[in-house]
A and B are shown apart, each in its own frame.
Chain A
Amino acid sequence: MNNIFEFLAPLARNRAYLDPGSGSILLQLVIAAALGAAFAVKVYWKKIKGALSKNKSNDETDTQVQEPDDPEKKS
């Protein structure tokens, strides 16, 4: 089984020059599902909110321009 994973693991992963630490990798496995789910909820909630506010602003006035939602853009 290990060999199959080793075969599948692309070059990029094996050449990591930092030791990620077993404890740090295995903790990620433990918390991954919960954090992924929370992130999914957050993204969809933003989309819903975005859609609602867009509809609302469309109802109020057609001339308002919505700013694109870009959380990564530096303020």
Chain B
Amino acid sequence: MKQSASFRDPSGFLFTDKGTLYRQVNEEYKAHYDKLMESGLYHSLVERKLLIPHEEVKIAPPEKAIAYKVIQPDRIPFISYPYEWSFSQYKDAAITTLAIEMLALDKGMTLKDASVYNIQFLEGSPLLIDTLSFEIYDEGSPWVAYRQFCQHFLAPISLMAFTDIRLQQLMRVYIDGIPLDLASSLLPGKTHFNMGLELHIHRHAASQKKYAGKGEKAKVKEARITKLSYQGLIDNLQGTIKGLNWEGVGTEWGDYYDATNYTTAAFERKKSLVGEFIDQVNPKMIWDLGANNGEFSRIGSGRGIFTVSSDIDPVAVEKNYQECRKLKEKNLLPLLIDLTNPSPGIGWENNERTSFIERGPVDVVMALALIHHLAISNNLPLERVGEFFAKAGEWLIIEFVPKDDSQVQRLLSSRKDIFPKYNEAGFESSLGADFKLIRKEPIEGSKRTLYLYRRK
């Protein structure tokens, strides 16, 4: 079955066969593929963990008439998208793309596309997953993927750094990256004094406007730049990206753990119960939803279980990723997800980038200190919350936070209490519609309860 995300490039395509992912390399891409493998570029990139490793396999290609080879790439445990990354994840993805391009140039190749969707996180680091992104470098030609790199990476990252972190969500709207005229108009005036942003965003947008529909085909075809200039362009983009920083200001969650009503003993008790529940299920993958900075996600990932650690707060996700990077954690993927509006399916036929829920179901969903935010802050009926968790995973580790807990009191302080069913009995009967109760343990030292459920 052909994959829905890889239909634009005539060099080949992804397909699945009996649940395994393969890539057909087309005959027309032969020279480029051979150069990638024989020039040492493939080995150099794989060694640096910049490119997904693959093996050539002898299975029948789905489109035999145009096939050259079939390769089997290593599998990415969870596909994520740029509108789900923290600032530093996005920045690292950009730096990785440019580092690959520099190495490719050294070996006489270049990236013919610079799509952000070709970058995924494996074992904690970003790497290129599209083996067919390279082409033989024709010395003198400009970089064909320059526009795409600026739209997919530089525009969103600079908007996040200089205008508002939330503008990253424009990537959900524009499948081919943020239009440069839009980025240029949204960036503050001071970015005209940042040489990289002035050239690659503002003047780039102006140049696009100037030549739009002018029919400059001849001029474009004749366009030549030296290899040194080409390297200079990549180097300048690298410097520009590296110079972009985001100082996350104090948000709701920044100091969450300091502000809770937990005693240290209750916190430790909760940790050990979560560990017990995980051991009881022994899953391959966990989604920790509402994970804050990933403290409890690490109970799973520390056991070698791949854990998606999602939160709605960009600061929490950023801290989580920085911790991952610092500790070189391989089994944890922090992501920015708003559960009340999780990533939809976007692109052609709503199917190029899959929705968050379609990337499941997962073995275990963890929802710790989350239910009150969904039920009280977002008015979601408990039954609907249960239905959602049942779609997302087979097992559920969930913490019930009662009304007399100070965190719930805080949420109720500014609104009318319209939640008569929000109590332990109401919670259990609502979850009972989709799940079977396996274990229930009070978290001593707090008013909260931890449950282990299995989908019916």
Contact = CB atoms under 8 A, between A and B. Distances in A.
Interface in B82-135: 96, 99, 102-103, 112-113, 125, 135
A39 B228 contact: yes
Given A12-B135, A17-B8, A72-B103, A28 B146 contact: yes
B126 to A, nearest CB: 10
B9 interface: yes
Contact of A26 (B96, B145, B219, B233): B219
Given A2-B218, A22-B220, A32-B225, A38 B236 contact: yes
A31 B223 contact: no
Nearest to B176: A18
A5 B48 contact: no
Contact of B102 (A26, A33, A42, A72): A72
B214 interface: yes
Given A26-B216, A31-B233, A74-B48, A20 B32 contact: no
Interface in B45-84: 48-50
A28 B138 CA distance: 16
A74 B125 contact: yes
A32 to B, nearest CB: 4
A56 interface: no
Contacts of A40: 228, 232
Interface stretch (B204-212, B246-254, B360-368, B399-407): B204-212
Contacts of A6: 221
Nearest to A35: B232
Contacts of B373: none
Contacts of A74: 48-50, 96, 99, 125
Chain A contact patch, size range: 35 or more
Contacts, number: 145
Interface residues of B, number: 58
Contacts of B229: 28, 32-33, 35-36, 39
Contacts of A9: 138, 141, 221
Interface string B145-156: 111101000000
B154 to A, nearest CB: 12
Contact of B223 (A15, A28, A34, A37): A28
Nearest to A40: B228
Interface of A is mostly: helix
A25 interface: yes
A10 B144 CA distance: 14
A46 to B, nearest CB: 11
A31 B359 CA distance: 43
Given A17-B8, A17-B9, A29 B211 contact: no
Contacts of A65: none
Contacts of A26: 207, 211, 216, 219-220, 223
Contact of A27 (B32, B138, B207, B231): B207
Nearest to A42: B235
Interface string B295-332: 00000000000000000000000000000000000000
Nearest to B139: A10
A69 B277 CA distance: 49
Interface in B1-52: 8-11, 28, 31-32, 48-50
Nearest to A33: B229
A30 B233 CA distance: 11
B88 to A, nearest CB: 13
Interface string B223-249: 101101111110110000000000000
B255 interface: no
A43 to B, nearest CB: 9
Contacts of B102: 72
A28 B135 contact: no
Contact of B144 (A5, A16, A27, A42): A16
Contacts of A1: 222
A24 interface: yes
A30 B211 CA distance: 13
Given A23-B210, A27-B199, A28-B223, 18 more contacts: A1-B222, A12-B32, A13-B141, A18-B147, A21-B208, A23-B204, A23-B212, A26-B211, A27-B203, A27-B207, A28-B142, A31-B203, A32-B226, A32-B233, A36-B226, A38-B236, A39-B235, A72-B102
20 contacts: A2-B222, A13-B141, A17-B10, A20-B142, A21-B147, A22-B216, A22-B217, A25-B146, A26-B207, A27-B203, A28-B142, A28-B146, A28-B229, A30-B207, A32-B225, A32-B230, A32-B233, A35-B229, A39-B231, A72-B48
Interface of A: 1-2, 5-6, 9-13, 15-18, 20-40, 42, 72-74
Closest 6 pairs (CB-CB, A-B): A23-B208, A35-B232, A39-B232, A36-B229, A32-B229, A24-B147
